[in-house]
Chains A and B, each alone.
Chain A
């Protein structure tokens, strides 16, 4: 499954790159990208693990930029 999420208050471009790198490290993630300009995150992962992975991704994001939230 591949899905897009909106990110709120994504303010720092370098952070977006860090988030992207961190999310790609999550086990099970097939592909991931964080688009700073569009404020969007795309995650591709197996269906059965998807929700779990999105939760982990949200954690990664708040670690890098505490203000930034995933809308879903």
Chain B
């Protein structure tokens, strides 16, 4: 609690201690004999104790020409209550108003604290190394090309390249993923990550303002400036709401006695009701809680490594029904690797004619990797990689090739070699045909590599682009949220169809040139339903025009890629496409909370206005409708600030 809040609390307690005995005395009739002026005076004491700052502020604001201000309205309302001799009402309203304000200020303080914790990824210093040794400086003061030292446990202050040492990096501040990443000499290092056990020496490649962490902070901080439609609605609403309620209050005093037929005698009753109106006239609950909800949503997303560049994108995201994906690099890893090794025992068809017996997966990989040992072909590399994943490599990704001889490349077909004294053929079906070896055609998707050992067919190795772990999950989330997913690719029909059916994607378009992708997205945009939007996600490097054209462009794997961060509206720092599901959830939840707050705040206010016009609700209810609703709406929005905080 700040000292300002404490002072306010003491005043509230003091006023309450004086007020409650007075309230009891009033209700038990003990004050009835006192002259009016004395009763006024005794209630004035707690009133002034708790409310003098409100009066002070009101007077200053009037002198500045600020009439429709909360303090002024509270002053008029309580003066009105005094005027109609409702002394306890006046004091109580001021007391509760101040309690509400205190809660509100506390809640706002808490929210601000949560926000600054969110922003807590900024590095505080850098260890600059120069002729005189190592000293701590502001990251801002480090020039490009300087050498900095990052000690164990420290936050990486600037982007650069490692020139000495190796360590594990915790990138969770950037990607939301609590995965440790190994880093060594020659590799780029991004600011905002936390260094593990090793000490690193780094040459900086960027100034602080251009470094990853500074750009992210800037983005998140400015996100509030791109306002959502709902926010603009609230701003407009707030502008008209207070004057309208105030004029309604005036109308109540003027017309109430006439319409009700109470005449002059009922003026004081209507005056009190009008005062109640004034108490409800501040739109604060909406003005605070709606932006706070959005900020919370943006914060929750950034904790998961998803940067949302503005509240408006979060709002649009909740209404996206068409998700367009680029295939390679977005839904698939874009790297070719061994996805299947089929020997005899793996073949479930029962048709093993012409197949050699006794070759296990390991043996198939062993012969293939050795025969392809010297090849630089990408297929050879992926076979060697699969073999090395069994932990049998000797050096630099190459197997021990001492038992390999007579390697000849048969152009367009494959390789023949002698491994451990046995003749081995590795290549496509034509290679085996050319050597007259009988085998069974394999119908698997991808590139199929056949292997023959001792002139007998031994098995196949299937190499293909692999689907990313989160891809199926993302498509499932989209379907559950009522959307459809569409895949665009430059690949041939067959490959596209295979991936689309594996991921259960609704539509796909294959063999597209980059320009075709833009055209296709434009066509989809022109056919979309009213009030619905289209999101495109791609890797941000090749897809910049499409990212820019879509309603929402989502760039993936953007850590360290300025172009991607620039081009997109929403940025996934790592390349986990599964985060799309998280993003849909956060956007939906944010919009729910914002809508709840709007309906709740406006609903309660209108209800209290109607009830108080009818004389059912008193000023106490009005104070609740003002500050009470505000506090509740803030608390509701703060749920978003905590979203995912326990997981990150």
Q: Which residues of A contact B (CB under 8 A)?
A: 9, 11-18, 33, 35-40, 42, 63-64, 66
Contacts of B291 in A (CB 8 A): 13, 36-37
- A37 and B284 CA atoms in complex are apart in Å by 13
Q: Which residues, 214 to 246 on B, are CB-close (under 8 Å) to A?
A: 221, 224-225, 235, 238
B287 at the interface (CB under 8 A from A): yes
Residue in B64, B225, B283 whose CB lies within 8 Å of A42:
B225
- A60 and B543 CA atoms in complex are apart in Å by 45
B105 at the interface (CB under 8 A from A): yes
Contact between A14 and B287, CB atoms less than 8 A apart:
yes
The contact string, 1 if C-beta is below 8 Å from chain A, for chain B 273-300, is 0000000001110011001100100000
A–B complex contacts, Cβ < 8 Å, 15 sampled: A13-B284, A14-B287, A17-B235, A35-B224, A36-B288, A37-B112, A37-B224, A37-B291, A37-B292, A38-B112, A38-B224, A40-B221, A42-B225, A63-B66, A64-B66
Contacts of A33 in B (CB 8 A): 225
Q: Which residues of B contact A (CB under 8 A)?
A: 4, 57, 60-61, 64-66, 69-70, 105, 108, 111-112, 115, 221, 224-225, 235, 238, 282-284, 287-288, 291-292, 295
Closest A residue, CB atoms, query B53: A67
Residue in B57, B61, B238, B292 whose CB lies within 8 Å of A14:
B238
- A17 and B224 CA atoms in complex are apart in Å by 13
If A14-B282, A17-B235 touch, does A37 touch B57 (CB 8 Å cutoff)?
no
If A14-B70, A37-B112, A37-B295 touch, does A66 touch B105 (CB 8 Å cutoff)?
no
Contact between A37 and B287, CB atoms less than 8 A apart:
no
Contact between B115 and A12, CB atoms less than 8 A apart:
no
Contacts of B70 in A (CB 8 A): 12, 14
- A66 and B69 CA atoms in complex are apart in Å by 12
- A37 and B296 CA atoms in complex are apart in Å by 11
Contacts of B224 in A (CB 8 A): 35, 37-38
Expressed in whole angstroms, the minimum distance between the Cβ of A19 and any Cβ of chain B is 11
Contact between A37 and B221, CB atoms less than 8 A apart:
no
Contact between A38 and B288, CB atoms less than 8 A apart:
no
- A33 and B224 CA atoms in complex are apart in Å by 10
- A8 and B22 CA atoms in complex are apart in Å by 38
Closest B residue, CB atoms, query A62: B64
Contact between B284 and A12, CB atoms less than 8 A apart:
yes
Given A37-B291, A38-B115, list of 18 further CB < 8 A pairs?
A: A12-B284, A13-B291, A14-B238, A14-B283, A14-B284, A16-B287, A35-B225, A36-B287, A37-B111, A37-B115, A37-B224, A37-B292, A38-B221, A40-B221, A42-B225, A63-B66, A64-B61, A66-B64
Expressed in whole angstroms, the minimum distance between the Cβ of A65 and any Cβ of chain B is 9
Expressed in whole angstroms, the minimum distance between the Cβ of B377 and any Cβ of chain A is 53
- A36 and B283 CA atoms in complex are apart in Å by 15
Contact between A17 and B287, CB atoms less than 8 A apart:
yes
If A14-B283, A36-B291, A37-B115 touch, does A63 touch B64 (CB 8 Å cutoff)?
yes
- A11 and B4 CA atoms in complex are apart in Å by 11
Closest B residue, CB atoms, query A63: B64
Contacts of B238 in A (CB 8 A): 14, 17
Most central of A12, A17, A38, A40 by chain B CB within 10 Å: A12
- A35 and B69 CA atoms in complex are apart in Å by 19
Closest B residue, CB atoms, query A22: B66
Contacts of A15 in B (CB 8 A): 69
Contacts of A16 in B (CB 8 A): 287
- A18 and B60 CA atoms in complex are apart in Å by 16
Expressed in whole angstroms, the minimum distance between the Cβ of B227 and any Cβ of chain A is 9
Contacts of B108 in A (CB 8 A): 11, 13, 37
Contacts of B66 in A (CB 8 A): 18, 63-64
Expressed in whole angstroms, the minimum distance between the Cβ of A33 and any Cβ of chain B is 5
- A61 and B292 CA atoms in complex are apart in Å by 21
Contacts of A42 in B (CB 8 A): 225
Closest B residue, CB atoms, query A16: B287
Contacts of A18 in B (CB 8 A): 66
- A71 and B266 CA atoms in complex are apart in Å by 52
- A36 and B235 CA atoms in complex are apart in Å by 13
Expressed in whole angstroms, the minimum distance between the Cβ of A10 and any Cβ of chain B is 9
Expressed in whole angstroms, the minimum distance between the Cβ of A6 and any Cβ of chain B is 12
Contacts of B64 in A (CB 8 A): 63-64, 66
